[in-house]
Amino acid sequence: MRNWSTSIRRRQLALQRLRQKGNWGLFLKVFLFAALVPALARLKLTRLESLLEPSRTTPPVGALQMDRIVDCVEAALKIGSPVVRGGCLTRGLTLYYFLRRASIDVALCFGTGHVKGQFAGHCWLSREGEPFLESCDPRPVFAKIYSIPRLKRPINA
């Protein structure tokens, strides 16, 4: 019973933060995109990249707008179950999509490695060659095998 009530409380707090900051419009867009991630994940990586990359550039947004995007993605992951799947793939694709449209220069990295003796995959954002918005550096565990955008030169992510 405790896990259920903790989950409800987390969702309530996330909704309160959205209401206080007035991010409902952005949250709805993020939620809908995040719900589509399982379908997007079935695409070839080159096709996925073409869909994720913005068609035009805009002036970069400030830290406040970037924080709004991150807050909405985190809220969608907390509130959205079962429509929005949790995990690094949903988080990474959604953050990448919205941050790139805000002209924030990030890369989406995919890697593989072994966690507790089991083969595992992970995706994360990289900014200026360093993991971005990650609680810990995934690079010691996961070897990067692909990144979006693909660069002519290797990136140190």
Render pLDDT for 80-113 as a digit per residue (tens, 0 to 9).
Answer: 888 888 899 999 999 999 999 999 999 999 999 9
Q: Could you give the angle at the alpha carbon of 26 between the alpha carbons of 79 and 129, nearest 5°?
A: 90
Give the pLDDT confidence score for residue 125 in this predicted structure: 96
Asked if residue 13 has pLDDT above 90, the reply is: no
Asked if residue 156 has pLDDT above 50, the reply is: no
Mean pLDDT of 48-75: 86
Phi, psi dihedrals of residue 130, rounded to the nearest 5°: -120, 150
Give the pLDDT confidence score for residue 55 in this predicted structure: 82
Query: For the whole model, what pTM was predicted?
Result: 0.83
Q: Which of 93, 74, 60, 85 is nearest to 26 (CA)?
A: 74
- Residue-wise pLDDT for 119-129, tens only, equals 999 999 999 99
Mean pLDDT of 140-157: 74
Q: Which of 154, 101, 100 is nearest to 132 (CA)?
A: 100
